[in-house]
Structure 1
């Protein structure tokens, strides 16, 4: 009898494993912010800093180096801001949790934001800075296994977290790749990414949804070289129009505090500029702020973010943070059709460049290179 994860969950039947991605967005409810504020301002009186609670896609780690550097060097406080970072549980889950739990904003997946804008437009945050101009979404499969191309996913079991950005965007990937989505069994599990990835290496499942560098880092934390054992079917090769992580704020915060929003984006942009200029200093900032910092994990993750997710050629033209309007419209159209969304959200309800710094001041992509301390990224 097959007691592997693959065997157990295949026997349950595809109908039990597959569900509409929209059904995994938690029901939203109006809940007040936990910050002690008056109209969004700290109750300390004139001159007090504006409090901003941001939900991240995970606890602070290498890919958040620019946030850490901006925090450590006082760019938020100098701008009159008191920014609190709260670690989350995935780039897709950030988006519905912002309005549900009363955050002022967050750092999460733009594809998930597009879906929420279609499903619950009145409660949806708005992206004000798109950090990942290339999507990191992927499916990791065994390098020596039978899956060589997207079509080979049919009849296989692919694992991932309950609200995983790669699962949420999978319908668009499948449609563009000519994959029959109904023939792919999706195993949603709350187990760690390291365990999900190990299951693939051990043959207990056929693949794992996630971010490329997150999967690699999870295995590195257990002393396993993920690049040696896994092949990655990267979404950017099939749906290159998709963007990745973005800084987003609630419409209420943008209405009440446009100057604070502009100052926040400027400080984040400065953090990115200086992270690109001095990755070692940025990594030291992560080390100072991240309780679970590990040099051999966080260094490569940070460099992967800088050299891949923030390195799309269009950023040399418009800067990191901005988007190409035609590309965003295509992303929205692809996701709306593939995910059978009830409406096609307007691009302006998903992203605004109103709060970006001038083009001349925006961060530009890092040339692809190795770095002595942080390590090279293949």
Structure 2
């Protein structure tokens, strides 16, 4: 039955008939169908890989649209780039390393406000990958060894935090700053003793080059005393203040898609493939599962739900980053993260609590 068929039969002047009927028909539509759509340009931190699945799912399945949003998702070239593009106004929201956000805010105290609004990686993905045949089994065995990493790598930049947490001197190792495309190759060839990199990136790169987990000692930073957060959804402060319902809607849609991604990673990867048909589906499925298992499914996320922060931990993490990066100032927790846009804690309980 059409909308017009349920309207009462009335006689209107010819000039008013179409307008009156249209007005009456529109009055029967849901309010959401008449609401104005808000456009959001969203900048990822990297290419369309496994961890991008929940963003792409929320777009393709219409979860953003149901919230009255028209979301454009673009691939990126690193967290710093994503943060700078949101700061410049080229994008309203993005996805990037919270530690890089702390750095940006410290170096631009009078610049545009940018805030984390949803923690996706509850721990930093940074890890040390070391050759077992060099006698490395623990952090203490790194003393005197050579580690390779790009100068912008989180593991390299936050080495001081890892070293202090494991009772190592800051200069206990020798660093080689290398191009990211050479990092894993140098370790595979034995030119260096260890590297740092994102767990779910460097492990797959090393396996592609012939190394297996049995050949490696892997030291994930969160498991060795480093309390830093990882990647978060970030938003322009001015955009969020002017459009709070849009930011809330974005996070609801993402949270919904993240829950479905956790429940069925294989199905979620299809949304990445739909965006980039050239991906290796098996590899990106594994990358997604590694990311979920290592930095999304954490004790904190199980106890308190995903997305939020512990204030005490956030304060500690900001200070640790300020010290390790030698920042000119220390941003306040309120500058770095705003929890007011988050879905309810109950909605964010995507994992069973420990013991359940």
Q: Same fold (TM over 0.5)?
A: yes
1:267 to 246, 253, 260: 253
Q: Give the secondary-structure state (helix, strand or coil) at the position aligned to 2:330.
A: coil
Aligned twin of 2:168: 179
Residue 291 of structure 1, CA deviation: 3.8
2:62 to 74, 86, 92: 74
Aligned twin of 2:30: none
Aligned twin of 1:229: 215
Aligned twin of 1:62: 50
Give, in whole Å, the separation in 2 of the partners of 1:239 and 1:336: 17
Give, in whole Å, the separation in 2 of the partners of 1:259 and 1:110: 23
Give, in whole Å, the separation in 1 of the partners of 2:82 and 2:152: 10
Residue 279 of structure 1, CA deviation: 2.2
TM-score scaled to structure 2, two decimals?
A: 0.82
Q: Deviations over 1:250-293 (max 9, x none)?
A: 11211222111111111110111111222222122222123442
Residue 320 of structure 1, CA deviation: 0.6
Greater C-alpha Rg = 2
Between stretches 337-346 and 131-140, larger displacement belongs to 337-346
Aligned twin of 2:19: none
Give, in whole Å, the separation in 1 of the partners of 2:294 and 2:136: 24
Equivalent residues in 2 for 1:1-378 (5 A)?
Answer: 49-100=37-88, 102-121=90-109, 122-192=111-181, 195-220=182-207, 222=208, 224-365=210-351
Question: Conserved in 2, the CA contact under 8 Å of 1:128 and 1:352?
Answer: yes
Question: Conserved in 2, the CA contact under 8 Å of 1:116 and 1:124?
Answer: no
Give, in whole Å, the separation in 1 of the partners of 2:135 and 2:89: 43
Residue 176 of structure 1, CA deviation: 2.5
Pick closer, same or farther for the CA change 1:99–1:270 going to 2, 3 Å: same
Aligned residue pairs: how many? 320
Residue 216 of structure 1, CA deviation: 1.7
Q: Which structure 2 residue ranges, 5 or more long, are not aligned?
A: 1-33
Residue 335 of structure 1, CA deviation: 2.0
Q: Which structure 1 residue ranges, 5 or more long, are not aligned?
A: 1-45, 369-378
Between stretches 298-307 and 284-293, larger displacement belongs to 284-293
Give, in whole Å, the separation in 2 of the partners of 1:119 and 1:343: 7
Q: Give the secondary-structure state (helix, strand or coil) at the position aligned to 1:359.
A: coil
Give, in whole Å, the separation in 1 of the partners of 2:311 and 2:135: 38
Give, in whole Å, the separation in 2 of the partners of 1:324 and 1:229: 36
Q: Deviations over 1:103-152 (max 9, x none)?
A: 22211111222222222233352000001112211121112223333344
Pick closer, same or farther for the CA change 1:184–1:120 going to 2, 3 Å: farther
Question: Conserved in 2, the CA contact under 8 Å of 1:311 and 1:366?
Answer: no
Question: Conserved in 2, the CA contact under 8 Å of 1:141 and 1:232?
Answer: yes
Residue 97 of structure 1, CA deviation: 4.5
Question: Conserved in 2, the CA contact under 8 Å of 1:111 and 1:169?
Answer: no
RMSD of aligned Cα (Å): 2.4
Question: Conserved in 2, the CA contact under 8 Å of 1:91 and 1:165?
Answer: no
Pick closer, same or farther for the CA change 1:273–1:147 going to 2, 3 Å: same
TM-score scaled to structure 1, two decimals?
A: 0.77
